[in-house]
Structure formats: C-alpha cells, structure tokens
Structure 1
Amino acid sequence: MELDQPSAARMYDYFLGGAHNFSVDRQAAARILTIYPHASSAAQANRAFLRRAVAELLALGVRQFIDLGSGIPTAGNVHEVVDATAPGARVLYVDNDPVAVAYSESILAGRTDVGVLQADVRDPAAILDAPLTRRLIDPALPVAVLAVAVLHFVADDEDPAGILGRFRDAAAPGSYLALSHGTVDRQPAKAARSEEVYRSTRDPLTLRTRPEIERLLAGWDLVEPGLVWLPEWRPDWPDEPGTDPSRTEILGAVGRKA
C-alpha cells in the first residue's frame, strides 16, 4: 500500500473525524486547515449532502448505486442509508486507494448486496465491465451514479465531462447522477493554495468555476433546487452540521437521465 504520500481519501477521513488515516495524511490535512479553518465542517456538509441525495433517490425508487471515489467507510456511508430504507438494494463502492478498498472489504465482508471495486474513475470501461459490477448492477434498471467530491481530482486533460458521459450513456433511462465539486469562485487565492497542497499528495486537485461544473452536468436534467451550495440542497433541518452556505466552497446537484 502507498503510505509515503498523503491520500485524499484518508485526508477526508481525517476531516470527518475518522481513524483510518496516517501521519502523512494528517500533516497534509493540517496544511489545508491553515487555509480553510472550516474544512472539517465542509467535509461534514459533503457527507450530509450524500446522505440526503441517497435518501431522495431511494424515495424515487432507485435501488442500485455506484459510488465513485467512495473513500474510507465512515458513518453515513451509502449502504447504511440504504439499509435503513431499502434493505437489499445494491451498492457498488469504487475507489483507487488501496487503504480505502481494504477497509471497505473488511467492513463489507459477507455481504452479497454491497461490493467494493478497486478501480480508477478515469477508466469508466474498467468499472462498467468489471465482473463485480455486472453481478451487482443491472444495466436495464435505473442506477444512481454518485460522483461526490471526486471529479475535482480529475484534471481537465483527463476529460471529466467525458467520464460522466460514459456513465450517463451506459445508464438506463430514469437513472440519476449526484455530484458535488469544489469551486474556486469564492476565494480564488485560497483555492490556489489548496491545489498546491494537494499537488504533494497522490490525488492532485483541480477546483473549477460554476460554469465549468455546470458543463460536467450536461445531459442530466437537474432536479430542484439545481446546482447550489451543498447546505442549500434540500436541507433536513436548520442546524445540520455545515449548514452555513458561506462556510463551504462546494457546489452540489442531482440530475436525471430522461
């Protein structure tokens, strides 16, 4: 396992208060916290968005999920939200971090309705054609593709819009995409400093403008309230962690394939 470089998955685990991270990750996370002191609350807001989006998609009848860049299992993971509402619905976790995959496999051992695949989001064919994907995901039925805080780790020359397009084209009508993505719009100087920190990790960061994020959503019909700051996407209650929109640099949306 690659433990000599910080990992975005393990840094995210640290921001969420998890224990599956190492000194090298905590050191990089500390550098981010000097730039964004509210980075932990932003991570909580992202996790809360994931939970709300999955709950909404379950209410719409979706019963299979592909979680791209799923990271290290922490409280509120997709399968836990699913288990509370629709036990037996299928969940495929996908991550390229061997530590995240190892922990996920340990937690999910013995489950036949949830699986974890070590693969890179930049290679949609390897994900869609994997035997585990074919076992868990029925391409004839609607699926929810979860791209939550993952595409800002895909560089422009790696075609993030094309990556989402591959998953969209493979999905049945009535499928959904949930996306969250960091933006440079509010504090460009701080965004540049954050990108510099992540260049020292195994997961370089590419933050984007709102118009650039909107282009990633091409081909998906956005549900209300559209592309908004994470705490503004169908909040459950006013005092939910990370609910101050001014304290997050992340936009989120859910879209449907007609």
Structure 2
Amino acid sequence: MNRHDIRATPWAAAIEDAVEARQVIADAEALLFDWDGCAAIADRPQAAAVALMAARPERFAIVSNNTSHGRGFFSDRLRANGIHAPPERVILAGIETLLRARQLAPERTLLLAAPRMEEAARRMGLDLVTDEPELVVLLRDTRFSYAKLTQAVNAVRRGARLLVGNPDRSHPSAEGRVMPETGSLLAAILAGVGPGAEPFEVVGKPHPTLFLRACEALGVQPEDAVMIGDNPETDVAGAAPLGLRCILVDGPGGLTLEDLAR
C-alpha cells in the first residue's frame, strides 16, 4: 500500500456525457458505487441508485470512504429498499483501515473514531490506548476534541506512525450543508505536527485498495467494471490508474444518477 504525502492528487477526465455513460454501464460486467453524496444522501439510498442496483442484483458493490459504520449498516439500508447487498460486497475505508492496522501489528494504538469503530477495532485484537502509541489511526470522529488533537499531534511528533481512513474533507448532508470528514481532522493534526511531518498512509480512495477489493469480491478485472461517483479527487483519481472507467455525477458536466437510470 502506498504511503501518502500532502500534495494534491491529480485526476483524469471522467465520463460526464449521459449517452456515453449509459452505454458504458450497459457494456460493463460490474458496477461500483460511491455511497455518501452519490448512491445515498445522509445514508438514505437514492431512487436512481436503487434502480441501477436492481438491474444488476449480483454485479454491484459499494465502494465507500465511510469510516463511521460497519458493513452491516449499509446492507440493512439497502435491504430496506429491496436490494440485497451482502457484506462482502460492501467495501469500506474504515473497516479496511482497521484491517491494515491489525496487519501492522502495533503493540499500542491510538484510535480516533466513532464508538462502533472502537468496538470493531477491539474485536480485531487492537490494543487501544491514549498514551505512548506506536500507531495513530484516524477515522471520522464526531467526538474529536482539543484533548484528542493534543494526543495525536504529540504521538506523531514522537515518531508514531499515522494511518488515515480517507483524505475527504467533507461530504454533503440532506440539508444541503457539508459534514466535515476525516480529511478535515487530518489537516488539524498535520498543522499541529508542523513542517517536516513524516509521510502518512491513506487506506481509502483514491488509493487502490478499496477498488481492488470490490473487483475481487465481484470476480472481475478493473477494466471490466465502472465506478460511479461524485468526487473527482477520490473516485476518478483512484479509478483511472487501475483502468477502471469512472462516471462522474453531479460534476461540472451536469450528469445525474437519474440520467443514468433512464
């Protein structure tokens, strides 16, 4: 897995023409859907996304930078809309980050995350501490505080490795506002650490892990699938280097999910 620096990731052009996008979907063996701001708003599945999934009931996966929930949450939300999405086809940055943390095998881990993710980390065998950690794991934490910021900054300054769920700064809410994401918390930590911070590792999009996990779960090669997302910095920039075609909705081209479901 790649280490990440603080430079912006360049992104390639995405498909934003409705006719071309519908043809690409028709030709694809599998569809990958971003969740927040794309397939769902405020965790409510969008009707057009449900229609696209229903047309490919065994050939779609969720590929999300969400770091707040486990796989079952998404399966339940889709089941309530008549869509069967088994957990193995729900690929999440939060869960994959915890799996990566376990792979690194630290003796002591400082985890900044939602309570449900703390529970998941403990079930995976991570020893969670607040002082002298070897590893700092940053997910979306709605209880983020000055005290937590102080712990994380000083741990990283002392040499603890920093593992980040995703670089997203925000995601849209149902009220048209934005909800701060993991990347906003990361910016605060990096500001506190100061110049010369060691490179940190990002697990979620745009890095390849989530895309490759989804293709593996569906039994397809990346070039035979298409990613449908709304964020050029994560969905497009991550998909393009793998040969995944990416359809960008709600971007400058004005393409919407409703256009794709017609």
TM-score (ref. length: structure 2): 0.38
Q: Larger Rg: 1 or 2? A: 2
TM-score w.r.t. the length of structure 1 is 0.39
